[in-house]
A and B are shown apart, each in its own frame.
Chain A
Amino acid sequence: MNPGLKLILMIILVLEISFIENLSLNVIIIIICLIYLLKKRPSSKQLVGLFLGPLIPAVGIFLSQMFYGNGGSLLAGVFATRIYAYVFLGACFTFSTNMTDLMKALEQSFHVPAKFVYGILSAFNLLPKVIQQIKVIRTASLMRGVKINFWSPKIYFKAILSALQWSQNLAEAMESHGFVEDQPRSQYHPIRLTQRDWSQFFAILVVFQGLVLILNSKFL
Protein backbone atom coordinates (compact mmCIF):
# COMPACT_ATOMS: atom_id res chain seq x y z
CA MET A 1 0.00 0.00 0.00
CA ASN A 2 1.08 3.59 -0.54
CA PRO A 3 3.11 4.54 2.57
CA GLY A 4 1.22 7.79 3.14
CA LEU A 5 -2.14 6.09 2.96
CA LYS A 6 -0.86 3.36 5.26
CA LEU A 7 0.16 5.95 7.83
CA ILE A 8 -3.27 7.59 7.68
CA LEU A 9 -4.93 4.18 8.07
CA MET A 10 -2.79 3.40 11.10
CA ILE A 11 -3.58 6.75 12.71
CA ILE A 12 -7.33 6.27 12.15
CA LEU A 13 -7.25 2.78 13.68
CA VAL A 14 -5.18 3.88 16.69
CA LEU A 15 -7.49 6.83 17.32
CA GLU A 16 -10.55 4.65 16.98
CA ILE A 17 -9.44 1.94 19.42
CA SER A 18 -8.57 4.71 21.88
CA PHE A 19 -12.26 5.52 22.16
CA ILE A 20 -13.56 1.94 22.35
CA GLU A 21 -13.18 0.14 25.66
CA ASN A 22 -13.36 -3.40 24.42
CA LEU A 23 -10.98 -6.19 25.39
CA SER A 24 -11.87 -8.58 22.55
CA LEU A 25 -11.31 -5.84 19.97
CA ASN A 26 -7.80 -5.18 21.25
CA VAL A 27 -6.96 -8.88 21.32
CA ILE A 28 -8.25 -9.43 17.78
CA ILE A 29 -6.22 -6.46 16.53
CA ILE A 30 -3.10 -7.78 18.22
CA ILE A 31 -3.57 -11.22 16.64
CA ILE A 32 -4.24 -9.84 13.14
CA CYS A 33 -1.24 -7.51 13.39
CA LEU A 34 0.94 -10.36 14.62
CA ILE A 35 -0.02 -12.52 11.62
CA TYR A 36 0.78 -9.61 9.29
CA LEU A 37 4.08 -8.96 11.06
CA LEU A 38 5.13 -12.61 10.96
CA LYS A 39 4.61 -12.54 7.18
CA LYS A 40 7.18 -9.75 7.03
CA ARG A 41 9.71 -12.17 8.58
CA PRO A 42 10.96 -10.03 11.45
CA SER A 43 14.19 -10.97 13.22
CA SER A 44 13.82 -12.75 16.54
CA LYS A 45 15.26 -9.66 18.24
CA GLN A 46 12.50 -7.50 16.73
CA LEU A 47 9.85 -9.98 17.88
CA VAL A 48 11.17 -10.16 21.43
CA GLY A 49 11.28 -6.35 21.50
CA LEU A 50 7.68 -6.20 20.36
CA PHE A 51 6.51 -8.34 23.25
CA LEU A 52 8.87 -7.10 25.96
CA GLY A 53 8.94 -3.38 25.09
CA PRO A 54 5.37 -2.59 26.16
CA LEU A 55 5.38 -5.15 29.01
CA ILE A 56 6.35 -2.83 31.87
CA PRO A 57 3.94 0.01 30.95
CA ALA A 58 1.16 -2.55 30.31
CA VAL A 59 1.62 -4.25 33.69
CA GLY A 60 1.92 -0.80 35.27
CA ILE A 61 -1.36 0.46 33.91
CA PHE A 62 -3.09 -2.85 34.65
CA LEU A 63 -2.18 -2.69 38.35
CA SER A 64 -2.97 1.01 38.51
CA GLN A 65 -6.47 0.45 37.11
CA MET A 66 -6.94 -2.50 39.48
CA PHE A 67 -5.95 -0.40 42.50
CA TYR A 68 -7.53 2.93 41.67
CA GLY A 69 -9.76 2.50 38.64
CA ASN A 70 -13.52 2.05 38.93
CA GLY A 71 -13.81 -0.59 36.19
CA GLY A 72 -12.26 -3.66 37.79
CA SER A 73 -10.04 -6.23 36.11
CA LEU A 74 -11.90 -6.21 32.80
CA LEU A 75 -11.25 -2.53 32.19
CA ALA A 76 -7.71 -2.90 33.50
CA GLY A 77 -7.25 -5.57 30.84
CA VAL A 78 -8.61 -3.21 28.19
CA PHE A 79 -5.96 -0.57 28.94
CA ALA A 80 -3.13 -3.09 29.19
CA THR A 81 -4.00 -4.76 25.87
CA ARG A 82 -4.58 -1.37 24.30
CA ILE A 83 -0.90 -0.57 24.79
CA TYR A 84 0.00 -3.74 22.93
CA ALA A 85 -2.54 -2.97 20.20
CA TYR A 86 -0.90 0.47 19.68
CA VAL A 87 2.58 -0.97 19.48
CA PHE A 88 1.56 -3.79 17.13
CA LEU A 89 -0.37 -1.44 14.84
CA GLY A 90 2.62 0.88 14.83
CA ALA A 91 4.96 -2.01 14.05
CA CYS A 92 2.80 -3.05 11.08
CA PHE A 93 3.68 0.34 9.66
CA THR A 94 7.36 0.54 10.62
CA PHE A 95 8.21 -3.05 9.65
CA SER A 96 6.85 -2.59 6.14
CA THR A 97 7.76 1.00 5.26
CA ASN A 98 10.95 2.89 4.86
CA MET A 99 10.94 6.52 5.88
CA THR A 100 12.30 7.83 2.58
CA ASP A 101 9.41 6.19 0.75
CA LEU A 102 6.97 7.68 3.25
CA MET A 103 8.31 11.19 2.68
CA LYS A 104 8.29 10.72 -1.10
CA ALA A 105 4.69 9.47 -0.93
CA LEU A 106 3.71 12.50 1.13
CA GLU A 107 5.24 14.75 -1.51
CA GLN A 108 3.89 13.00 -4.59
CA SER A 109 0.44 11.85 -3.51
CA PHE A 110 -0.44 14.11 -0.59
CA HIS A 111 0.96 17.40 -1.89
CA VAL A 112 3.24 18.17 1.03
CA PRO A 113 5.54 20.96 -0.30
CA ALA A 114 8.94 19.72 -1.51
CA LYS A 115 10.82 22.05 0.86
CA PHE A 116 9.28 20.26 3.83
CA VAL A 117 9.90 16.80 2.40
CA TYR A 118 13.52 17.37 1.44
CA GLY A 119 14.29 19.68 4.36
CA ILE A 120 13.11 17.09 6.87
CA LEU A 121 14.77 14.21 5.00
CA SER A 122 18.11 15.98 4.77
CA ALA A 123 18.02 16.87 8.46
CA PHE A 124 17.20 13.29 9.41
CA ASN A 125 20.24 12.18 7.44
CA LEU A 126 22.28 14.03 10.06
CA LEU A 127 20.90 11.80 12.84
CA PRO A 128 24.23 9.96 13.38
CA LYS A 129 26.02 13.33 13.45
CA VAL A 130 23.55 14.62 16.04
CA ILE A 131 24.20 11.61 18.28
CA GLN A 132 27.94 12.24 17.89
CA GLN A 133 27.54 15.97 18.60
CA ILE A 134 25.70 15.33 21.86
CA LYS A 135 28.57 13.09 22.96
CA VAL A 136 30.99 15.88 22.04
CA ILE A 137 28.99 18.46 24.04
CA ARG A 138 28.87 16.15 27.07
CA THR A 139 32.57 15.26 26.88
CA ALA A 140 33.65 18.85 26.32
CA SER A 141 31.95 19.97 29.50
CA LEU A 142 33.22 16.94 31.42
CA MET A 143 36.73 18.07 30.53
CA ARG A 144 35.98 21.27 32.38
CA GLY A 145 34.64 19.24 35.29
CA VAL A 146 30.97 20.03 34.61
CA LYS A 147 28.51 17.18 34.24
CA ILE A 148 25.83 18.20 31.80
CA ASN A 149 22.41 16.52 32.12
CA PHE A 150 19.15 16.54 30.25
CA TRP A 151 17.85 19.19 32.60
CA SER A 152 20.79 21.54 31.97
CA PRO A 153 19.77 24.46 29.73
CA LYS A 154 23.35 24.45 28.38
CA ILE A 155 22.96 21.18 26.52
CA TYR A 156 19.98 22.56 24.60
CA PHE A 157 21.73 25.87 24.06
CA LYS A 158 24.77 24.20 22.55
CA ALA A 159 22.59 21.81 20.56
CA ILE A 160 20.65 24.73 19.07
CA LEU A 161 23.90 26.54 18.21
CA SER A 162 24.98 23.47 16.22
CA ALA A 163 21.51 23.24 14.66
CA LEU A 164 21.66 26.91 13.60
CA GLN A 165 25.01 26.42 11.91
CA TRP A 166 24.21 23.08 10.31
CA SER A 167 20.84 24.18 8.98
CA GLN A 168 22.48 27.12 7.22
CA ASN A 169 25.16 24.88 5.69
CA LEU A 170 22.70 22.22 4.65
CA ALA A 171 20.26 24.67 3.09
CA GLU A 172 23.09 26.33 1.15
CA ALA A 173 24.41 22.96 0.05
CA MET A 174 20.98 21.91 -1.21
CA GLU A 175 20.47 25.16 -3.03
CA SER A 176 23.89 24.95 -4.65
CA HIS A 177 22.91 21.50 -5.88
CA GLY A 178 19.94 23.01 -7.65
CA PHE A 179 17.17 22.70 -5.09
CA VAL A 180 14.77 25.60 -5.54
CA GLU A 181 11.97 26.19 -3.04
CA ASP A 182 8.42 26.18 -4.38
CA GLN A 183 9.43 24.98 -7.84
CA PRO A 184 7.89 21.89 -9.44
CA ARG A 185 10.17 18.85 -9.38
CA SER A 186 10.34 15.82 -11.63
CA GLN A 187 10.44 12.39 -9.98
CA TYR A 188 13.22 9.88 -10.48
CA HIS A 189 11.46 7.37 -8.27
CA PRO A 190 7.70 7.83 -8.54
CA ILE A 191 5.48 6.41 -5.82
CA ARG A 192 1.95 5.77 -6.95
CA LEU A 193 -1.33 6.01 -5.15
CA THR A 194 -3.38 3.41 -6.98
CA GLN A 195 -7.01 2.44 -7.01
CA ARG A 196 -5.93 -0.80 -5.39
CA ASP A 197 -4.47 1.16 -2.45
CA TRP A 198 -7.72 3.02 -1.98
CA SER A 199 -9.83 -0.15 -2.15
CA GLN A 200 -7.56 -1.86 0.40
CA PHE A 201 -7.78 1.21 2.61
CA PHE A 202 -11.58 1.30 2.57
CA ALA A 203 -11.90 -2.48 2.80
CA ILE A 204 -9.86 -2.54 6.02
CA LEU A 205 -11.86 0.35 7.45
CA VAL A 206 -15.20 -1.27 6.61
CA VAL A 207 -14.18 -4.65 8.03
CA PHE A 208 -12.94 -2.90 11.15
CA GLN A 209 -16.23 -1.02 11.64
CA GLY A 210 -18.11 -4.30 11.18
CA LEU A 211 -15.93 -5.90 13.83
CA VAL A 212 -16.56 -3.05 16.24
CA LEU A 213 -20.33 -3.29 15.68
CA ILE A 214 -20.41 -7.05 16.25
CA LEU A 215 -18.23 -6.91 19.37
CA ASN A 216 -20.15 -4.04 20.88
CA SER A 217 -23.50 -5.70 20.43
CA LYS A 218 -22.67 -9.23 21.63
CA PHE A 219 -19.97 -9.08 24.26
CA LEU A 220 -18.98 -6.80 27.10
Chain B
Amino acid sequence: MNNNRDHWSLRNIILITLIAIFCGVIFWGTGFLYTGLTLILTPFGLAPLANDILMGVWCMAGPLAGMVIKVPGSAFLGEFLGSAVEVFLGGQWGASAFISGLVQGIGSELGFTLTGYKHYNWLGITASVITTTIVTFGWDMIRNGYNHYDLGLLSLLFITRLVSTFIFSGIITVLVSKLLTRSSREE
Protein backbone atom coordinates (compact mmCIF):
# COMPACT_ATOMS: atom_id res chain seq x y z
CA MET B 1 0.00 0.00 0.00
CA ASN B 2 1.36 3.37 1.00
CA ASN B 3 5.09 3.93 1.06
CA ASN B 4 4.99 6.01 4.21
CA ARG B 5 3.84 3.26 6.49
CA ASP B 6 7.09 1.66 7.47
CA HIS B 7 8.57 3.77 10.22
CA TRP B 8 7.63 5.41 13.49
CA SER B 9 6.61 8.82 12.18
CA LEU B 10 4.35 11.17 14.08
CA ARG B 11 1.66 10.48 11.52
CA ASN B 12 1.88 6.70 11.98
CA ILE B 13 1.74 7.02 15.75
CA ILE B 14 -1.41 9.13 15.46
CA LEU B 15 -2.82 6.64 12.95
CA ILE B 16 -2.24 3.65 15.26
CA THR B 17 -3.80 5.55 18.14
CA LEU B 18 -6.83 6.52 16.05
CA ILE B 19 -7.34 2.92 14.90
CA ALA B 20 -7.14 1.82 18.52
CA ILE B 21 -9.66 4.49 19.55
CA PHE B 22 -12.09 3.57 16.77
CA CYS B 23 -11.90 -0.10 17.80
CA GLY B 24 -12.18 0.79 21.48
CA VAL B 25 -15.29 2.85 20.84
CA ILE B 26 -16.88 0.15 18.67
CA PHE B 27 -16.23 -2.48 21.37
CA TRP B 28 -17.48 -0.08 24.00
CA GLY B 29 -20.87 -0.56 22.38
CA THR B 30 -20.59 -4.32 22.92
CA GLY B 31 -20.19 -3.98 26.70
CA PHE B 32 -23.83 -4.93 27.17
CA LEU B 33 -23.12 -8.14 25.26
CA TYR B 34 -20.45 -9.15 27.76
CA THR B 35 -22.69 -8.41 30.72
CA GLY B 36 -25.61 -10.23 29.09
CA LEU B 37 -23.54 -13.29 28.19
CA THR B 38 -22.04 -13.44 31.68
CA LEU B 39 -25.51 -13.22 33.22
CA ILE B 40 -26.87 -15.99 31.02
CA LEU B 41 -23.88 -18.27 31.61
CA THR B 42 -23.55 -17.65 35.37
CA PRO B 43 -26.28 -20.10 36.50
CA PHE B 44 -24.46 -22.86 34.61
CA GLY B 45 -21.15 -21.95 36.21
CA LEU B 46 -19.82 -21.04 32.80
CA ALA B 47 -19.45 -17.27 33.22
CA PRO B 48 -15.76 -17.28 32.15
CA LEU B 49 -16.89 -18.57 28.76
CA ALA B 50 -18.19 -15.04 28.05
CA ASN B 51 -14.57 -13.85 28.10
CA ASP B 52 -13.55 -16.50 25.64
CA ILE B 53 -16.48 -15.86 23.29
CA LEU B 54 -15.65 -12.15 23.09
CA MET B 55 -11.86 -12.38 23.26
CA GLY B 56 -11.46 -12.07 19.48
CA VAL B 57 -13.43 -8.82 19.44
CA TRP B 58 -11.30 -7.28 22.18
CA CYS B 59 -8.10 -8.29 20.42
CA MET B 60 -8.88 -6.78 17.00
CA ALA B 61 -7.13 -3.44 17.38
CA GLY B 62 -3.73 -5.14 17.50
CA PRO B 63 -3.79 -7.10 14.25
CA LEU B 64 -5.64 -4.27 12.44
CA ALA B 65 -2.96 -1.77 13.44
CA GLY B 66 -0.30 -4.34 12.56
CA MET B 67 -1.72 -4.84 9.07
CA VAL B 68 -2.12 -1.14 8.28
CA ILE B 69 1.15 0.14 9.76
CA LYS B 70 3.82 -2.41 9.05
CA VAL B 71 6.29 -1.42 11.76
CA PRO B 72 7.49 -3.80 14.46
CA GLY B 73 5.59 -2.86 17.60
CA SER B 74 2.51 -1.42 15.89
CA ALA B 75 0.27 -4.36 16.82
CA PHE B 76 1.36 -4.12 20.43
CA LEU B 77 0.81 -0.37 20.59
CA GLY B 78 -2.57 -0.61 18.85
CA GLU B 79 -3.86 -3.29 21.17
CA PHE B 80 -2.49 -1.62 24.28
CA LEU B 81 -4.00 1.76 23.38
CA GLY B 82 -7.28 0.05 22.51
CA SER B 83 -7.50 -0.99 26.14
CA ALA B 84 -6.56 2.52 27.23
CA VAL B 85 -9.74 3.79 25.55
CA GLU B 86 -11.66 1.92 28.20
CA VAL B 87 -9.72 3.74 30.90
CA PHE B 88 -10.50 7.10 29.24
CA LEU B 89 -14.17 6.27 28.82
CA GLY B 90 -14.41 5.19 32.45
CA GLY B 91 -15.09 1.49 31.98
CA GLN B 92 -15.90 -0.92 34.79
CA TRP B 93 -12.31 -2.19 34.92
CA GLY B 94 -10.65 1.17 35.43
CA ALA B 95 -6.88 1.26 35.04
CA SER B 96 -6.62 -2.50 35.41
CA ALA B 97 -7.64 -2.58 31.73
CA PHE B 98 -4.03 -1.49 31.08
CA ILE B 99 -2.88 -4.93 32.25
CA SER B 100 -5.21 -6.79 29.89
CA GLY B 101 -4.01 -4.43 27.16
CA LEU B 102 -0.38 -5.31 27.89
CA VAL B 103 -1.06 -9.04 27.76
CA GLN B 104 -3.22 -8.86 24.63
CA GLY B 105 -0.73 -6.53 22.98
CA ILE B 106 2.14 -8.94 23.56
CA GLY B 107 -0.04 -11.74 22.18
CA SER B 108 -0.94 -9.85 18.98
CA GLU B 109 2.61 -8.67 18.38
CA LEU B 110 4.28 -12.07 18.88
CA GLY B 111 2.59 -13.53 15.80
CA PHE B 112 4.13 -10.87 13.57
CA THR B 113 7.46 -11.23 15.38
CA LEU B 114 7.57 -14.99 14.86
CA THR B 115 6.94 -14.54 11.13
CA GLY B 116 9.81 -12.04 10.98
CA TYR B 117 7.60 -9.00 10.20
CA LYS B 118 7.55 -10.15 6.61
CA HIS B 119 4.19 -11.82 6.27
CA TYR B 120 1.40 -9.28 6.38
CA ASN B 121 -1.03 -11.83 4.98
CA TRP B 122 -2.81 -14.98 6.13
CA LEU B 123 0.40 -16.44 7.53
CA GLY B 124 1.18 -13.47 9.78
CA ILE B 125 -2.43 -13.09 10.85
CA THR B 126 -2.84 -16.78 11.65
CA ALA B 127 0.36 -16.70 13.68
CA SER B 128 -0.95 -13.64 15.51
CA VAL B 129 -4.29 -15.37 16.17
CA ILE B 130 -2.51 -18.38 17.66
CA THR B 131 -0.10 -16.36 19.82
CA THR B 132 -2.93 -14.08 21.01
CA THR B 133 -4.97 -17.12 22.03
CA ILE B 134 -2.10 -18.82 23.82
CA VAL B 135 -0.78 -15.73 25.61
CA THR B 136 -4.18 -14.47 26.78
CA PHE B 137 -5.24 -17.98 27.78
CA GLY B 138 -2.03 -18.45 29.76
CA TRP B 139 -2.79 -15.21 31.56
CA ASP B 140 -6.32 -16.37 32.38
CA MET B 141 -4.93 -19.68 33.69
CA ILE B 142 -3.29 -17.62 36.41
CA ARG B 143 -5.54 -14.61 36.78
CA ASN B 144 -8.96 -16.20 36.56
CA GLY B 145 -7.96 -19.56 37.97
CA TYR B 146 -8.47 -21.52 34.76
CA ASN B 147 -5.75 -23.86 36.05
CA HIS B 148 -8.25 -25.17 38.61
CA TYR B 149 -10.62 -26.47 35.94
CA ASP B 150 -10.52 -29.97 34.54
CA LEU B 151 -9.25 -30.72 31.08
CA GLY B 152 -12.74 -30.93 29.54
CA LEU B 153 -13.78 -27.40 30.52
CA LEU B 154 -10.30 -26.07 29.73
CA SER B 155 -10.52 -27.43 26.19
CA LEU B 156 -13.97 -25.91 25.75
CA LEU B 157 -12.70 -22.51 26.88
CA PHE B 158 -9.54 -22.72 24.79
CA ILE B 159 -11.27 -23.78 21.60
CA THR B 160 -13.95 -21.12 22.04
CA ARG B 161 -11.25 -18.48 22.44
CA LEU B 162 -9.31 -19.75 19.45
CA VAL B 163 -12.41 -19.71 17.23
CA SER B 164 -13.44 -16.25 18.42
CA THR B 165 -9.95 -14.85 17.88
CA PHE B 166 -9.75 -16.51 14.47
CA ILE B 167 -13.06 -15.00 13.35
CA PHE B 168 -12.50 -11.46 14.59
CA SER B 169 -8.76 -10.94 14.73
CA GLY B 170 -8.24 -13.26 11.76
CA ILE B 171 -10.96 -13.33 9.14
CA ILE B 172 -12.42 -9.86 9.71
CA THR B 173 -8.96 -8.27 9.90
CA VAL B 174 -7.94 -9.84 6.59
CA LEU B 175 -11.23 -8.76 4.97
CA VAL B 176 -10.70 -5.19 6.18
CA SER B 177 -7.14 -5.06 4.89
CA LYS B 178 -8.32 -6.44 1.52
CA LEU B 179 -10.91 -3.66 1.33
CA LEU B 180 -8.16 -1.15 2.10
CA THR B 181 -5.82 -2.53 -0.57
CA ARG B 182 -8.62 -2.45 -3.12
CA SER B 183 -9.55 1.12 -2.30
CA SER B 184 -5.96 2.34 -2.53
CA ARG B 185 -5.62 0.66 -5.94
CA GLU B 186 -8.77 2.32 -7.22
CA GLU B 187 -7.62 5.78 -6.15
Contacts and interface: CB of A to CB of B under 8 A. Distances in A.
A133 B10 CA distance: 22
B94 A56 contact: no
Contacts of A122: 14
A68 B153 contact: yes
Interface string B1-24: 000000011111111011101110
A64 B142 contact: no
B21 A57 contact: no
A171 interface: yes
Nearest to A157: B179
A119 B17 contact: yes
A31 interface: no
A30 interface: no
A119 B81 CA distance: 12
B163 interface: no
Interface in B93-151: 93-99, 102, 142-145, 148-150
Nearest to A172: B11
B67 to A, nearest CB: 10
Given A93-B95, A115-B13, A160-B68, A56 B142 contact: no
A134 B22 contact: yes
B95 to A, nearest CB: 4
A67 B45 CA distance: 6
Given A91-B95, A119-B13, A171-B10, A124 B42 contact: no
B30 interface: yes
A133 B21 CA distance: 11
B38 A171 contact: no
A190 interface: no
B39 interface: yes
Contact of A127 (B21, B57, B98): B21
Given A75-B145, A157-B176, A90 B30 contact: no
A164 B2 CA distance: 11
A163 B22 contact: yes
Interface in B158-182: 167-168, 172, 175-176, 179-180
Contacts of B15: 163-164, 167
Contacts of A127: 21, 25, 85, 88-89
B92 A49 contact: yes
A176 interface: no
B64 interface: yes
Contact of A91 (B10, B94, B167): B94
A38 interface: no
Interface string A121-132: 011101100110
Contacts of A153: 172, 175-176, 179
A90 B149 contact: no
A206 B150 CA distance: 37
A60 B38 contact: yes
26 contacts: A7-B98, A10-B98, A54-B92, A56-B35, A57-B47, A59-B42, A63-B47, A67-B44, A69-B149, A70-B148, A87-B94, A90-B93, A93-B95, A94-B90, A119-B10, A120-B14, A123-B18, A130-B25, A150-B57, A155-B26, A160-B68, A160-B180, A167-B11, A167-B18, A171-B11, A181-B10
